[in-house]
């Protein structure tokens, strides 16, 4: 029972960390990388699908992405989807290829992105702490039902706390890395 609670807590905490990495990918740095467009969806045969399912996305150079749709009629839809996304990008099409230049980041936009990254990291920390609270609550209910002893409860709580500290340290490292990327000129 205790092991199940620990495994569940660990799994949920790792999912919070993965979600943080996905959110960090949406925050653009000055360099081009294809994961910036992961959040963009395109209208395709009546439904919204991720851009990477209707086109190939490549890094052309350090400041430019190229998007090559698999179907010619998708070019204007993809262009519109990129423009209307909240990424602040202005694509330009040349025949079949849509080029997406990455604008230079000003000091002000860098600070705004850092603030956004810190908020995402704090949300991840709160999610991890909520998982810890849930796991400790489960342990307390097992103790009330006399399925575990107080010593077992304390040992399990300590293990969950160590796991929490480890995941929060990983979140802090990811934030530090993202801030470093954002501040590079």
pLDDT in tens, 42-51: 888 888 888 8
The answer, as to whether pTM is greater than 0.85, is: no
3-state DSSP helix/strand/coil percent for the chain, to nearest 5? Answer: 65, 15, 20
Does the 34-101 domain belong in CATH 3.30.300.30? no
Q: Can you say how many angstroms the Cα of residue 43 is from the centroid of all Cα atoms in its chain? A: 23
pLDDT score for 100: 86
Task: Pinpoint the residues of the chain covered by CATH 3.30.1360.40.
Answer: 34-101
Distance CA 20, CA 105 (A): 22
The percentage of the chain sitting over the pLDDT mark of 70, rounded to a whole number, equals 97
**What's the DSSP call for residue 37?**
G
**What's the DSSP call for residue 89?**
-
Tokens of 51: 């851009």
State the sign of the Cα–Cα–Cα–Cα dihedral 81, 27, 105, 67. Answer: negative
Task: Pinpoint the residues of the chain covered by CATH 1.10.132.20.
Answer: 1-27+106-183
CATH superfamily of 1-27+106-183: Ribosome-recycling factor (1.10.132.20)
pLDDT score for 127: 95
């Amino acid at each position: 029972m205790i092991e199940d609670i620990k495994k569940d807590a660990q799994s949920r905490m790792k999912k919070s960390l993965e979600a943080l990495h996905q959110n960090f990918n949406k925050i653009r740095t000055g360099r081009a990388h294809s994961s910036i467009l992961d959040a963009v969806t395109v209208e395709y045969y009546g439904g919204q699908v991720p851009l990477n399912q209707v086109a190939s996305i490549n890094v052309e150079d350090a400041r430019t992405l190229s998007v090559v749709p698999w179907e010619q009629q998708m070019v204007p839809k993809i262009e519109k989807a990129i423009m209307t996304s909240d990424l602040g990008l202005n694509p330009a099409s040349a025949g079949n290829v849509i080029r997406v230049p990455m604008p230079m980041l000003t000091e002000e936009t860098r600070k705004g992105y850092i603030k956004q990254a810190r908020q995402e990291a704090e949300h991840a920390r709160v999610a991890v702490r909520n998982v810890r609270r849930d796991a400790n609550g489960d342990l307390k209910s097992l103790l009330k039902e006399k399925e575990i002893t107080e010593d077992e409860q304390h040992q399990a709580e300590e293990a969950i706390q160590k796991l929490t500290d480890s995941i929060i340290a990983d979140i802090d490292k990811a934030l530090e890395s993202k801030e470093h990327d954002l501040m590079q000129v």
